[in-house]
Amino acid sequence: MNFLKKFFDRIKAFPKVFKGLSLRKIIDYFKSHRLLAIIYLAIVVAVIIILFLLINYFQNQQTEIAVSKTDEKSATADVQDLSLTIPENAYPYPKSFTINKIPRDAAYNQYKQLGNFYGDIYELSPNDGRNDLALEPMTYTYRIPNEFYFGDEYFNFELLYIENKENPVVKVFSGGEIIQTENNRPILRAKGFHGSLVGLRVNNPVKQSLGLKKIIEKPDNLKPDLLLVPGIDINFQGFLPNTISNTNPQGNNLWEVTFEDRSIWVYDYPLTETRSANYVREAKNFFTDISKTSYIRLEAEKLANSLLESEQEYDIIAHGIGGIIARYAVENYPITNIRKIVLISVPNTGTNIVNPSFLNLLYGKDTQVLSQIYGLDADTIRYLTRNNMGYLENVNVFYTDILPFAEVIKTLENSLRKDISYFFIGGNQPDFDAELEDSQFAKFYPENTFGKGDGIVSVYSAIYPSLEEAENEKDNVLSKIVPYSFYDIFLQQQTLQLIRSYLEEGIEVVEVPDYQDDTFREWMFDNSDSTKTNSIGEHENDLFASTITLNPATVIQEEPEKVPNNLPTQTDNVQDLDDWKKETSPKEAEKDESAGTQTTENNIEKKETNGQTENTSNSKIENNNLEKTISIIESIKTSKDSEPIQYDNDAVNGSNQMEIFTPKSSKWNTNLFPDTFVNIQNMIIYNLTRHKFPFDSSPYGIETVGDLVYIFDNLGITLFKNGTFERISDGRVNAFFSDSRKLYVVQDNILTEYSNGEPSKMSYLMFEAPILSFAVTDSHQYYLLSQNGLTFETPSKSFKLNGHYGQILLYGVYPYIITDAGVYLFNGKDCELVYEPYNKDIQLESGIINNDSLYLLASDYSLRAISLDGEKILLDTVHNTGGIKILKTPEKIIVAGRNKFNIIDYSYKKPEGTFFEIPSTDKVLDVSIFEGHLLVLVREGDSTFLKKMAIME
């Protein structure tokens, strides 16, 4: 007790002690007690450091967020710029997260460099250590810096996340929403199903442009415009990145290539991209009106309003969730300007891929344990998790509308319209090799099962409206199952061919009178100095026929000659195909053209049936082709998958068997490339002569045979000779081949030979698949088909090749097949891969054979030369050449682009490279060599011209 009394007495005396102290006395005291002063100073510094560390710690201190209880709606916590909200019933048990700001250390710098983060990055970690999936998405809200916010119409922010710190991969929260708070502070809000590293990325400010937009404009015609309604795959809009060049900065478009004469529209809506504040405000008002949140209904109404306001007729092509939007718009609003709808991998009955409860069985679980439970290897389980989780996150808030038994899905069960034709296309090959058929996952995920789905949508869901057991079956509904996955189904040649055939059928065709010239003598070619006068008084030299005097009577077109109908009956197809494979075609006897006494009719074969001659006119052939096309479309609904090709491994039999060809590559190293390409624009005479193509039919290709020029367009073949155009055939050409004497063309699997501009022979080809390329020799024929990929047909065998498109090049009698994936050689017995690009992202476009070397043009605009055995390679500078076609003369290699031509001249000891460009307003469609000059098919505005350009030596 005395001790305590003394202690309190001293405390009471402190004021008296300090009252008598002054600053001078304190300084004097510490001068006389230096050791004690140092101790006191150290204590003060330590206290300051501790206080600083505590302040910094509490600034970065975690906030625990418990999941809501039964009487609570949600749990929310804020940590500086980030807040997290967990909705009610997101987890079936109490769940809490720790939010921690990543310190600015080496790890932060790594993350920032990977994703270009701005500001702080936060880590959300579950306190129970269980990295499982929320059954309802949590909400991440990040405060946007005011200095980067440019207005409610901009969407230049993305919320990023890294799921695994050990193997960091930066991803974007799809469908983020920019919101203005009550105090006018902008925030970015996104939905997610798991804890992650979360941060903000600031992009260049761009105003959000949505709705119905025209991306490809073509001259008006009787065909409906195309309207694309994409899903999550941005590639569906058809942009081909490998076709970008300085002269073609926009690149080509997949749908423009498929439908070259139609304008193309796209309905753009923010499915995966961030939504601007204006869009979020509009959506909130709409959801208030319908008393629920349904983004599909919102987008369907906006699309319907755009279609109701438009006077244009459309054919719709939709993919994935875009098909649900298109159907809901068309089938719930009085839209009258839709003719046909193509629906590719559309979840008409919903998809289980977006069911979080199913995915929770996989996400965050030990793959080795799951592989033992479900009988699947660990790699398959990891793939299923990534694939299904990726799609769920990409569709974000749209997922509730495409769950099976969702209200939107139920609305579409019996809503097909009778006045619109539907074509449903489904895939049955997921993008992986595992077999789930015998596992329990086949019950949860038929979409991931081989033969039952494409990896995202089940076959049943994709074609449900066309099934017989469906109550709403109608005659205007077709369907087709193709062996592709969700992400590549619309890129495949087979799918594009089906879509084209379906949408081109049934369009009104207006008969256009045959081109007739008058008797006024407009063209004079009496001598090499003659000129022609056009309508505006310009004089242009004509090198097509500089020494020919044209009789006016010869420009008047005669009635088309009748050609025979040698088409066999359908029952003979299989036998004829077998006969073709068993033996080689005999060499055709050549007619003596020097006699000049035989007419065209005598050169055309006639077939006698029951004493009657079957002579079929061009118009009847067109009707026959149209009926065949219609029959193909009608059979789509009931056709089954084609049987796998049986490969004949036996040796070729018959007297015409080719010996195995061994390539020689002794000259490959003489075909070096020049170091530089020098611009010779001032040495080019451009527009030396030009002729306007008289038909409005979108020509796309030319081929020269002797002094004849054949032009291919949507309507058929036009012959150009002596300055005049003459239509010689109707029906689009699928593939063509020429030698020094003849032109061979395939039109709807009918092979026609042309000699001197006249059809001399026709035969029917027994292939069900489209023919992409072919080659003809005196004793052999080779065909490249688009049949579940590429199939190379020889008279004795069939070979499956990698790739989606290609061409056949002859080296003597031996064919090289150039596909986008590689180069193959058929040596008379086997078809072997001799070359493939080192990078799988590079596709081969075309090629030629010159001086025992094979020149290849690739999608990266590089030119490469390889030895014929593929072992030795020369590679030119990337992006230095054109991207359309390679041509050759005896001493030159010419690479044509949209507006640029590269020329390699081998007449010198060292190869010289030159290039020239044509006006940017011109668009080269095709190019050929004619009489030693470049003959170019060019599009200028709404007109097409045939032009000759001369390279002045």
- In this prediction, residue 748 carries a pLDDT of 81
pTM given for the model? 0.53
More confident residue, 26 or 84: 84
| pLDDT of 889 strictly over 90 | no
Average the pLDDT over 520-527 and give the result.
Answer: 39
Whole-angstrom distance, CA of residue 380 vs CA of residue 386: 10
| pLDDT of 677 strictly over 80 | no
| pLDDT of 494 strictly over 70 | yes
Give the list of residues 6+ apart from residue 27 with CB closer than 8 angstroms, or none.
none
- In this prediction, residue 65 carries a pLDDT of 54
- In this prediction, residue 486 carries a pLDDT of 94
Whole-angstrom distance, CA of residue 549 vs CA of residue 306: 58
Instruction: Enumerate long-range contacts of 440-445, CB under 8 Å, 24 or more apart.
Output: 440/374, 441/374, 441/376, 441/384, 444/352, 444/358, 444/361, 445/352, 445/353, 445/358, 445/384, 445/388
Percent of the chain at pLDDT exceeding 70: 74
| pLDDT of 67 strictly over 50 | no
- In this prediction, residue 160 carries a pLDDT of 92
Average the pLDDT over 410-423 and give the result.
Answer: 92
Q: Is 774 exposed, middle or buried (0-12, 13-18, 19+ CB in 10 A)?
A: buried
- In this prediction, residue 440 carries a pLDDT of 73
Q: DSSP letter at 70? A: T
More confident residue, 555 or 152: 152
| pLDDT of 868 strictly over 50 | yes
| pLDDT of 827 strictly over 70 | yes
- Bridge partners, 96 (sequence order): 66
Count the neighbouring beta carbons within 10 Å of the beta carbon of residue 350.
23
**pLDDT grade, residue 301 (50/70/90)?**
very high
Q: By mean pLDDT, which of 133-137, 331-335, 562-566, 854-858 is the weakest?
A: 562-566
140-179 residue pLDDT tens: 999 999 888 999 999 999 999 998 887 888 899 999 999 9
Whole-angstrom distance, CA of residue 564 vs CA of residue 704: 25
- In this prediction, residue 183 carries a pLDDT of 83
Distance from chain centroid for Cα 935: 31
More confident residue, 917 or 325: 325
For the chain, how are helix, strand and coil distributed in percent, rounded to 5? 25, 30, 45
Contact status, residue 776 vs residue 786, Cβ threshold 8 Å = no
Reduce the DSSP state of residue 55 to 3 states and report it: helix
Q: By mean pLDDT, which of 96-100, 228-232, 553-557, 908-912 is the weakest?
A: 553-557
Q: DSSP letter at 395? A: H
Average the pLDDT over 797-814 and give the result.
Answer: 89
Reduce the DSSP state of residue 288 to 3 states and report it: helix
Mean pLDDT highest for which of 61-75, 369-383, 637-651, 741-755?
Answer: 741-755
**pLDDT grade, residue 281 (50/70/90)?**
very high
| pLDDT of 788 strictly over 60 | yes
Average the pLDDT over 227-243 and give the result.
Answer: 86
Average the pLDDT over 310-315 and give the result.
Answer: 94
pLDDT, the chain, mean: 77
- In this prediction, residue 837 carries a pLDDT of 85
- In this prediction, residue 11 carries a pLDDT of 54
